[in-house]
Structure 1
Amino acid sequence: MIFLDFIFYAFIAVVVIQAIFYIFFFIKFTLLKQEKKSRKNIDISVIICAKNEAENLQNFLPLIINQDYPDFEIVLINDASHDDTLKVMEQFASQHENIKIVNVKNNETFWGNKKYALTLGIKASKNEFLLFTDADCKPVSKYWIRHMSSHFSKKKQLVLGYGGYSKIKNSLLNKLIRFETLVTAMHYFSFAKLGIPYMGVGRNLAYTKNEFFKNNGFINHIKVQSGDDDLFVNQVANKKNTAICFLKNGFTESIPKTTFKDWFKQKRRHVSTAKYYKLKHKILLTLIYSSQLLFWVFAIALFITTYNWQIVLALFLFRIIIQYTIFGIPSKKLKENDLLVLLPFLEVFLIIVQLTIFINNLISKPNYWK
């Protein structure tokens, strides 16, 4: 009984911690209304780093070329591809004067390092304002550049956008992928609104060239293969220089993985960078994920033993109701509201995956940039 007493009181503490995060942290994004910024028409460079992405460039590059924006260049970085990526780039460049190609060959010092290729692309860009996406991404509207660039100002030098994944009908894996993306976005948007931005996604991210070189680019984590987006944001973002953009027309959409194995490998790479975050961010993120894990572990243990089951059920429902309430509006904002029906199941599934990834990354290093 003493052990069950401990579990019971620990469960109460975990519910309190979860409630604090939902009510005082995540609610910031839930209640936030996106202000429509005035059109600035600043000169901007869209930067796309591609490695073996010939087919995706063929399909998605026209959607960027046809953006409704007066003056922008497209910097295409061929990162030592061995397919027809460079050939596709050259075909588009021959037809559009605003396309610039940076052809990166393998370098012994920076072998397979995307940050090296990106740095060369940034240096080659002609404009101060930079907008990043991936070769397998597409803007959801022709106003993507307009919406993302409108958030730049004298103070705001970094803009965090939303990069979602396309929907695949009747696919549980697809729902899990989109749920993880929704949760991550809710975290980094909420934290940015609180004045403690900690990450962004390279599928939809913008910052100034001055901010990049003022902070010595990727030099502080150049030996870390992954993290050209989140580690850079973690390094330079603060409450004064960071803006967020979550209007639908400012979204990008990527092709999701279709096998659990491929997605698991991808997430291993993404998760591996978290250990390089600033200490305050690591503490907060650890509290979030560990309290989620313990909530379900303690709840299941207490339900099985029926220990104080009435109180446990009340606390369980209290937390679930808060979760649905706080998640509801953001899921609609980010056009992922179909996920709400499976919310508890997807959360448990994701917790198990994250725990497995954490253990795997302790045992071996994940694979990196293609």
Structure 2
Amino acid sequence: MLSFLYAIFILSVFTQLIFFYIFSKFSFTKHQYSNVLQPKVSVIICARNEAQNLSRHLEKFLTQRYTDFEVIVVNDGSTDNSSDLLHTYQKRFSHLKVVDIKSNNSYSGNKKKAISKGIKASKYDYLLFSDADCEPSSKYWISEMSSQFSTNKKIVLGYGAYRKINNSFLNKLIRFETLMTAIQYFSYVKIGLPYMGVGRNLAYHKELFIKVNGLSSHANLKSGDDDLFVNQVAKINNTAICFSKKSFTISEPNTSFKAWFNQKKRHITTANYYKPIHKLLLGFYYLSQILFWILAIILLSLSLIGEVEFWSVIVIVLIRLVLQFIILSKAAEKLDERDLSLWFPILDILLVFMQLQLFVSNLIAKPKYW
């Protein structure tokens, strides 16, 4: 039995090293600009009862330093003062367009419908998406993201960061999970297997939306307006990544574990609808993670009572942790998350077991509301 556990432990580490090699494709890449011509861009933001966030962030979208763009805010059945606020902004900014979806007793908001309305109202073919609770990290957000479009590149995946909160371990865990998700979807683009993006910083050409009849293939699902759409239309040659620090969006993070946990419960439900190759790779990565940590704990515990050679286990663990640190630190530097580096082992093991809890929780009761 010990030999079997040790063999599985070695296999899990070997599998992890393969994935770290994949991640290195992003960690050690350099940011490149594909397009010297700036296309006309429609920025689309869906908002439901987001008056407070709109008052804080909308002007930063409207005052981007870019030649020709419009900002479309889809007011998705809001019952607060969003409508009045938006129409006040329209008096100041002629390039702001407001699309109102009326609220009634039977309508509680539908982001996919709102996105479709926003795209239908757009006058330009290049679309750039964000959320009402986000702000661009610089006045060059549109310029940086649109620079990745080219004749072949029709999709641009950006980084949606979360604001740093000092002395908050939960904030570190949230940002680490966001970092790991970004490393994966950026790296898979680099190896020719794009599989997802995040709706708070995502761009694509309108023709892709029209070609697949919009979001109709997963219209019955509350989620998936971003990752499932990208999973459907992204190909080896049509997807680019943008990770310059001026291209980030920044969102306000949850400040309670329960709220964040419930948010992640909703998000992971879409992974079941990914293409088989993507599900297989993501599943193998997670399985190798949880096997590594469980077996490392078991084997190190057995080594204390002389059942297993201590140094043979600790050396393998250290090799894995050092390689993880090198590769993830390079990626964290690119994505302005360097303060997380020293916390990687603790955050990694906590995230692995939290993801297991999420999986079990969704088996018991799937989230009903978005």
Q: Do the two structures share a fold, i.e. TM-score over 0.5?
A: yes
SS of 2:38 mapped into structure 1: coil
Map of 1:184 onto structure 2 = 181
- Offset of 1:368 from its aligned partner? 3.5
| Aligned counterpart for 2:118 among listed residues 117, 121, 127 | 121
- Offset of 1:216 from its aligned partner? 1.1
Map of 1:10 onto structure 2 = 8
Matches of 2:332 and 2:364 in 1, distance apart?
A: 35
Matches of 2:141 and 2:115 in 1, distance apart?
A: 21
- Offset of 1:284 from its aligned partner? 0.2
Map of 2:328 onto structure 1 = 327
| Aligned counterpart for 1:70 among listed residues 67, 89, 92 | 67
Kept in 1, the 8 Å contact 2:141–2:246? The answer is: yes
- Offset of 1:36 from its aligned partner? 3.2
Map of 2:136 onto structure 1 = 139
User: Which residue identity does 1:10 align to in structure 2?
Assistant: I
Map of 2:17 onto structure 1 = 19
Question: Between Structure 1 and Structure 2, how many residues are aligned?
Answer: 366
TM-score (norm: length of structure 2): 0.96
1:289 aligns with 2:289: no
Kept in 2, the 8 Å contact 1:164–1:254? The answer is: yes
Map of 2:217 onto structure 1 = 220
The Cα offsets for residues 148-204 of structure 1, whole Å up to 9 and x where unpaired, read as: 011111111100000100100000000000000000000000001111000000010
Kept in 1, the 8 Å contact 2:34–2:150? The answer is: no
| Aligned counterpart for 1:246 among listed residues 239, 243, 246 | 243
1:237 aligns with 2:234: yes
Q: Which moved more, 1:305-314 or 1:11-20?
A: 305-314
Kept in 2, the 8 Å contact 1:231–1:277? The answer is: yes
Matches of 2:81 and 2:266 in 1, distance apart?
A: 26
CA RMSD between the two structures: 1.3
- Offset of 1:255 from its aligned partner? 0.5
Map of 1:346 onto structure 2 = 347
- Offset of 1:95 from its aligned partner? 1.6
Residue correspondence of structure 1 range 9-158 to structure 2 within 5 A: 9-23=7-21, 25-106=22-103, 112-158=109-155
The Cα offsets for residues 44-102 of structure 1, whole Å up to 9 and x where unpaired, read as: 10000011110110000111111000110010001111211222111111221111111
TM-score (norm: length of structure 1): 0.96
User: Which residue identity does 2:5 align to in structure 1?
Assistant: I
Kept in 1, the 8 Å contact 2:78–2:103? The answer is: no
Kept in 2, the 8 Å contact 1:40–1:149? The answer is: no
- Distance verdict in 2 for CA 1:108–1:126, change over 3 Å: farther
SS of 1:335 mapped into structure 2: coil
The Cα offsets for residues 20-40 of structure 1, whole Å up to 9 and x where unpaired, read as: 1112x1110011101134542
Map of 1:317 onto structure 2 = 318
Kept in 1, the 8 Å contact 2:161–2:249? The answer is: yes
- Offset of 1:105 from its aligned partner? 2.8
Matches of 1:365 and 1:138 in 2, distance apart?
A: 31
Q: Which runs of 5+ in 1 are unaligned?
A: none
- Distance verdict in 2 for CA 1:109–1:243, change over 3 Å: farther
Matches of 2:64 and 2:264 in 1, distance apart?
A: 31
Matches of 1:343 and 1:223 in 2, distance apart?
A: 37
User: Which residue identity does 1:244 align to in structure 2?
Assistant: I
Matches of 1:111 and 1:251 in 2, distance apart?
A: 30
- Offset of 1:112 from its aligned partner? 3.3
User: Which residue identity does 1:348 align to in structure 2?
Assistant: I
Map of 1:268 onto structure 2 = 265
Q: Which runs of 5+ in 2 are unaligned?
A: none
User: Which residue identity does 1:8 align to in structure 2?
Assistant: Y
SS of 2:45 mapped into structure 1: strand
- Offset of 1:41 from its aligned partner? 2.2
SS of 1:133 mapped into structure 2: strand
User: Which residue identity does 1:353 align to in structure 2?
Assistant: M
Q: Which moved more, 1:81-90 or 1:228-237?
A: 81-90
Kept in 2, the 8 Å contact 1:132–1:202? The answer is: yes
Kept in 2, the 8 Å contact 1:226–1:368? The answer is: no
Matches of 1:213 and 1:37 in 2, distance apart?
A: 24
- Offset of 1:111 from its aligned partner? 5.5
Matches of 1:82 and 1:181 in 2, distance apart?
A: 31
SS of 2:319 mapped into structure 1: helix
Q: Which moved more, 1:100-109 or 1:355-364?
A: 100-109
SS of 2:246 mapped into structure 1: helix
SS of 2:194 mapped into structure 1: coil
The Cα offsets for residues 283-332 of structure 1, whole Å up to 9 and x where unpaired, read as: 00000111101100000000111112221111111100110111111100
- Offset of 1:223 from its aligned partner? 0.4
The Cα offsets for residues 305-363 of structure 1, whole Å up to 9 and x where unpaired, read as: 11122211111111001101111111000000100111000011111211111111111
Matches of 2:368 and 2:143 in 1, distance apart?
A: 35
SS of 2:64 mapped into structure 1: coil
User: Which residue identity does 1:84 align to in structure 2?
Assistant: N
